[in-house]
Amino acid sequence: MRREAVFSSRIEGTQATLGELLAAEAGVSPERSPEDLREVGNYVAALEHGLNRLESLPLSLRLVRELHEKLMTGVRGDHATPGQFRRTQNWIGRPGCTLAEATYVPPPPGDLLDHLGRWEEFLHDESVPPLVHAAMMHYQFEAIHPFIDGNGRVGRLLVTLSLCARGVLPEPLLYLSAFFEATRNDYYDGLRGVTERSDWPGWLEYFLNGVARQSEDALSRAERINRQMAAWRDAFAGGGSKVPLQLIDLIGANPFLTPRGTERRLGVAYNTVMRAITALEAGGVLTKVGDSKRDRVFCARAILDILEEPARLVPEPSAIKSRTTRD
């Protein structure tokens, strides 16, 4: 979820990295602009909110407004009436361009609710295969552009929520924003192609290719993280203390930790935590970050490296071989 938040926000110009977000969540004072981290944090909060709300509320305009409010409150876009559809005309183009210079002009405010009403109906059209439906839904939302700001991020949030709502994803493990960010020009060209030439096949091919690549990517990362975690657990399973194993479980959720934060989370003595950290350092699991003698920070670099690898844009050789064998 945090990878998705970082890459979706990066498409809109936010520069925070996944490592910086994870470090901040572990209690490390951020070097990055707090505004950037707050924007990414809002994306995570909006996604978590949407997944929780799906248990009692279907995908709907009401949920979309809630997502937007979570996303835009307290950040640079909070002038954009969080949670409210726009009442003024907006447009897309280079920074500072006028309406006449825009590369795309969404529907005027007076027509907005009609378009959104038809879009909401389409959300529940189960005659369209789920992945094709998600691709079409995302394009339509971006074309309507119902908010003053934050449309791209809300639209990408909806892809994951749509697939979860349709039961395609039992857990939110597939995120396309890393693919969209790495192929940003193709992403915008695909959306523009539908608008200008009704090139639905081009957009669908691009979108489905992204699904394939990110599925392979997510599976590869998960398998490698699981192997690494299992190796660490085996290495420390015979020790006299269970605390090193507890720390390994913690870094499976966030590769950064601080001694004081760990002390609070585990409810054990500070010295016990430090002995466990020292043992994990000696075993190559943790590395100290920076030179600070106080407020020390440690990181499981092997996990962070897997998480921060660039998105794969071409099939893995094993995946190509597997498909060829099946064919």
Partners of 104 in the β-ladder: 92
Q: What is the pLDDT of residues 81-128, one digit of tens each?
A: 899 999 999 999 988 899 999 999 999 999 999 999 999 999 999 999
Q: What pLDDT does 127 receive?
A: 96
Q: Does 95 fall in a domain? A: yes
Mode of pairing for the β-strands spanning 297-299 and 256-257? antiparallel
User: What is the pLDDT, as a whole number, of residue 326?
Assistant: 46
pLDDT of residue 258: 93
Q: What is the pLDDT of residue 122?
A: 97
Q: How many structural domains comprise the chain? A: 1
pLDDT of 30 reads 73
Q: What are phi and psi of 256, to 5 degrees?
A: -100, 145
Q: What is the pLDDT of residue 323?
A: 44
The answer as to whether 310 is a domain residue is no
What sign for the dihedral angle of Cα 26, 31, 36, 38? positive
Report, as an integer, the average pLDDT of 237-266. 92
The Cα 266–Cα 273 span in angstroms is 9
Q: What is the pLDDT of residue 317?
A: 59
Any domain includes 251 = no
Residue 15: predicted pLDDT:
84
Q: What is the pTM for the complete model shown?
A: 0.88
For residue 76, being part of any structural domain is answered with: yes
DSSP per residue, 138-174: HHHHHHH--SSS-HHHHHHHHHHHHHHHTTS-SSS--
27 confidence band (pLDDT: 50, 70, 90): confident
298 - beta bridge partners?
A: 257, 288
* Token pair 């002995």: residue: 275
pLDDT at residue number 320: 43
Task: Give the mean pLDDT of the chain.
Answer: 91
Please tell me the predicted confidence (pLDDT) of residue 188: 94
Distance between CA atoms of 123 and 103, rounded to whole angstroms? 27
pLDDT (tens digit per residue) in 143-162: 999 999 999 999 999 999 99
**Res 77: pLDDT:** 61
- Token couple for 204: 């669908």
Note the pLDDT of residue 264: 93
Q: Is position 88 within any domain?
A: yes
* CB 206 within 8 Å of CB 186: yes
- The residue range of the domain holding 116 is 2-214
Residue 77's SS3 state is coil
Q: What percent of the chain has pLDDT over 70?
A: 95
The answer to the question of residue 74 being in a domain is yes
231, part of any domain: no
| Neighbour count for residue 281 (Cβ, 10 Å) | 13
For 189-213, how does the pLDDT look when each residue is reduced to its tens digit (9 = 90+)?
A: 999 999 999 999 999 999 999 999 9
The whole-angstrom separation of Cα 237 and Cα 245 is: 7
Q: Is the pLDDT of residue 184 over 50?
A: yes
Tell whether the model's pLDDT for residue 245 goes beyond 60. Answer: yes
Within-domain flag for 163: yes
Q: For the domain that residue 127 is a member of, what is the CATH number?
A: 1.10.3290.10
Q: How confident is the model over 38-62, as a mean pLDDT? A: 95
Q: What pLDDT score was predicted for residue 327?
A: 47
